[in-house]
Structure 1
Amino acid sequence: MDFAFSEEQEQLRGFAREFLASRYDDARLAEIADSSTGVDEDVWPKLASMGWLDQDLTFLDQAVLFEETGHRPLPAPYFSTVALAAPALDADTGKRIASGTLRATLAWAEPGRPQALLDPVETSVTDGRLTGVKTLVPDGAVAALFVVVAADGLYAVEAADAEVTPHPTIDGTRRVADVRFSSAPARALASGEEARVLLGRIRDRAYAALALEGVGVAQRALDLLVAYAKEREQFGKPIGVYQAVSHKASNVYVQLQEARSLAYWAAWCVSEDDEMARQACLAAKALAGSAAVFACENAIQGHGGIGFTWEHVLHRYYKRAQWLAAFDGSERAQRAEVAAFLLD
């Protein structure tokens, strides 16, 4: 078992960091977050041309990209398409994604019911027609294809055959939508036990991806805190020499490294289809989500008054951290599930 990334993966990391930093400076990220859709409409074909959407990428390749899209948020439906939808789709549809002509997402939660990814649903299919209402669909307003969780399996439905109502979230670059299907044409993807197993693997993949994003967010928050602590002076000294600031940085660093180790383990488990994948992904998601929130809170406090301003970029990282920490249940719920595995 080797948790080190390959030379090619580290090269991919460097290229991704350079690309995201050059395309999304703080002002551009704010502009997109405050736009009508919250996404960069022009970047999807670019991601395809760089190979980020290729079916041939291993999950460890994607892990590098997920971490970097946390370090510098990518305002595009990359997580919803690659982590949530693509694993359920056939090879031909995957080629449409890889070519940059298709954006997709997963629709599972329903109003008035438990909304975790593996909870039972009422959406039904009769004679190839799907009927039901989904809520909190990630990137639902910008997706052209939905992978829909129905009572008897997973189905693909074109967005053109659905009624979509977008909603804002705390993170302007990661919005959700309510989606109503009224006897919409549906293509079966998986049913019965096959669908249940596939949905479980999608959840593992999504948790690992968000854990990696959380590591990227926490690293960026720490980078900003350390840079400011070295630059800002008070009483003739950089504020980093004072324990009130230095201890914040060290505490963030410790939590970040713990989260990174778990996130990389989860990524390896998903890539290898290891029997510990479920536990690893639950633990990684729980810890990385809280670590990202903790890092952002301490970075904001370490910046003093300027950290609380709308113009400073830190609040956008804080909102991304809160979004990914809350995805599909709280840290407490995920820790409880880990405990259930241990005590079974």
Structure 2
Amino acid sequence: MDFTFSDDQLTFREAISRFLMTEAAPEMLREIWETDVGRSPDLRNKIAEQGLTALSVPEAAGGLGMDDVAWSLMTQELGYYAIPDSLADTAYVACALIAGLPASVFKRGEWLAGIADGSLRVAVGHPVNPWVADAGHADLLLLAHDDEVHAVPRSQVDVHHLTSLDASRRLAQVSWQPSAATLVAEGQLGRTLWAHTLSRGALSVAGQLLGLAQRMLDLSVDYTAQRKQFGKPIGSFQAVKHHLADVATQLEFAKPVLYRAAYALAQGQSTAHVWISQARLACCEAAWLAARHGIQVHGAMGYTWEVDLQMFMKRAWALDNAWGDRALHKARVAAHVLSGAPLGPGHTFEE
């Protein structure tokens, strides 16, 4: 069995990486985030021109029709360059949710075409998330009411903006009234769509966390090569080497877990949610370790606005509870691993 990525997938990732390296440099992102809206329509349009917004839109709707495995590569790039997570929410999470709606939904094709060309911003309000990312800037909100899926225009939603540790995130508490006009799915279909949405949201966050961890490691390596103490680069000290080696090891262990989860979701495996929770936990641990050791090698200045590390570190912290906290994902893994296991005193000790 061949576990390698296809040439198309790797080529597309490389093209996106080169593009973001130029168009989303840290100094440019700082300028964008300090504006009132915190978003750049110009950058969004350029990303759409690269095809990222059309990545998972079906070919019949003008997209590229690529699957979850391709997104496991793309979300790493979004994390590495600190692109706001709402892009993935629209182009990946919301796109899959809309594509899963019945063909009878009146504007389904129009919404998919809008995602593909980058003209439509979609915010997803899943019950697992207390606040909705980018609700204030969205053209359309996909919101849950029990098992129902509602597609609500921005004009019908009241938005209360909230602050975030991560300056790039635009979180909001939304108030709205469900109606027959906004209902697009219900019953078993609604439950299935929301379950798949949670899986894709968690997988998206896992990929971004892995990209963030890699960026923090790269920044730390660069810093330790330049910063000198006692006439030597601090990267030559054994203790510093051990810190960075621990992060690199954690990253390498997390990557195959992420790819296994993406494959399970793409293939529609019944246990995909378990693999995704495992990937979410593994990538989260890698990002937290990269942030912690990054701060240790940078010193207190790593927290300051002038140093790039803080941008990626705060993003990792902010995403820690997005699309399910650690307790939720640990519980899903434990329920699968320990299902039917003989636990408790009556099974542990012989009479």
State whether TM-score is above 0.5: yes
Structure 1 residue 213: Cα displacement: 0.6
Question: What is aligned with 2:74?
Answer: 65
Question: What is aligned with 2:267?
Answer: 272
Count how many residue pairs are aligned between Structure 1 and Structure 2: 321
Equivalence map 1:73-88=2 (5 Å): 73-75=82-84, 77-88=86-97
Contiguous gaps of at least 5 residues in structure 2: 58-64, 99-107, 340-351
Structure 1 residues 183 and 228: alpha-carbon distance in aligned structure 2, compared to 1, 3 A threshold = closer
Question: What is aligned with 2:343?
Answer: none
- Asked whether the 8 Å contact 1:84–1:105 carries over to 2, the reply is no
Equivalence map 1:1-344=2 (5 Å): 2-54=2-54, 55=57, 56-75=65-84, 77-89=86-98, 90-109=108-127, 116=128, 135-182=130-177, 186-344=181-339
- Asked whether the 8 Å contact 1:88–1:189 carries over to 2, the reply is no
Q: Which amino acid aligns with 2:9?
A: Q
- Asked whether the 8 Å contact 1:161–1:184 carries over to 2, the reply is no
Structure 1 residues 11 and 152: alpha-carbon distance in aligned structure 2, compared to 1, 3 A threshold = closer
| Over 6 Å off, 4+ runs | none
Tell me the distance in 1 between the aligned counterparts of 2:331 and 2:176: 34
- Asked whether the 8 Å contact 1:44–1:76 carries over to 2, the reply is no
Tell me the distance in 2 between the aligned counterparts of 1:76 and 1:37: 15
Cα deviation digits, residues 163-188 of structure 1 (max 9, x gap): 12221211111221111114667433
Tell me the distance in 2 between the aligned counterparts of 1:140 and 1:107: 9
Tell me the distance in 2 between the aligned counterparts of 1:153 and 1:182: 13
Structure 1 residue 33: Cα displacement: 2.3
Structure 2 SS opposite 1:43: helix
Structure 1 residues 164 and 151: alpha-carbon distance in aligned structure 2, compared to 1, 3 A threshold = same
Cα deviation digits, residues 301-340 of structure 1 (max 9, x gap): 1122432322101111111111221113322331122101
Tell me the distance in 2 between the aligned counterparts of 1:330 and 1:191: 26
Identity %: 31
- Asked whether the 8 Å contact 1:77–1:139 carries over to 2, the reply is yes
Structure 1 residue 231: Cα displacement: 2.3
Larger Rg: 2
Comparing both structures, which one devotes a greater share of its residues to strand? 1
Tell me the distance in 2 between the aligned counterparts of 1:78 and 1:3: 28
- Asked whether the 8 Å contact 2:163–2:170 carries over to 1, the reply is yes
Tell me the distance in 2 between the aligned counterparts of 1:143 and 1:176: 12
Contiguous gaps of at least 5 residues in structure 1: 110-115, 118-134
Structure 1 residue 148: Cα displacement: 1.1
330-339 or 96-105, larger mean C-alpha shift:
330-339
Tell me the distance in 2 between the aligned counterparts of 1:100 and 1:72: 19
Q: TM-score under structure 1 normalisation?
A: 0.88
Q: Which amino acid aligns with 1:198?
A: L
Tell me the distance in 1 between the aligned counterparts of 2:153 and 2:70: 29
Structure 1 residue 37: Cα displacement: 2.0
261-270 or 33-42, larger mean C-alpha shift:
33-42
Structure 2 SS opposite 1:311: coil
CA-based RMSD of the aligned residues comes to: 1.8
Q: TM-score under structure 2 normalisation?
A: 0.86
Structure 1 residue 92: Cα displacement: 3.0
- Asked whether the 8 Å contact 1:32–1:75 carries over to 2, the reply is no
